[in-house]
Amino acid sequence: MRIQKNCLYCNKELDGRTDKKYCNLHCKSAYQYKKQKEGPQRFFNKVDNQLKLNRKLLKEYNKAGKAVIRAKILIDLGFNPNFFTHYWKNQKGEVYLFAYEFGFLRKSENGKEKFVLVTWQAYMKH
């Protein structure tokens, strides 16, 4: 008695062993790839990808070491301020969040949300 009648990937009728699921290695590999792509993304990958994107955007918009940009611009490009690697608190008590060596401080000026972008400096050590 056959458990699986057709290939899980291409749906061809199977012959051979009764517990066979795929007609060949290509179908097995393609099925596993498709299943992994459709499945939920692992949490670590999601966090890592967001941190990399945040770093890339902060680097791209902060060429001089310090810059100010409207928050909406970065957020529209996929920046998520909830993902950061560490923080630094200045003497005024303002907390800069960092994605690796590129940091940002959220400010509100004239009703507009902005980010002050900075690059990590040696004096910022705890």
Q: What's residue 16's pLDDT? A: 87
Summarize pLDDT for 36-77 with one digit per residue, the tens. Answer: 877 777 788 889 999 999 999 999 999 999 999 999 999 999
Return the sign of the alpha-carbon dihedral for residues 47, 49, 52, 58: negative
Length of the chain: 126
Could you give the strand order of the β-sheet that contains 86-89, starting from the edge strand earlier in sequence?
Answer: 66-70, 112-119, 102-109, 95-99, 86-89
Average pLDDT, the chain: 92
Q: What's residue 25's pLDDT? A: 95
Across the chain, where does the E strand assignment appear?
66-70, 86-89, 95-99, 102-109, 112-119
Q: Where are the domains of the chain?
A: 1-39, 43-124
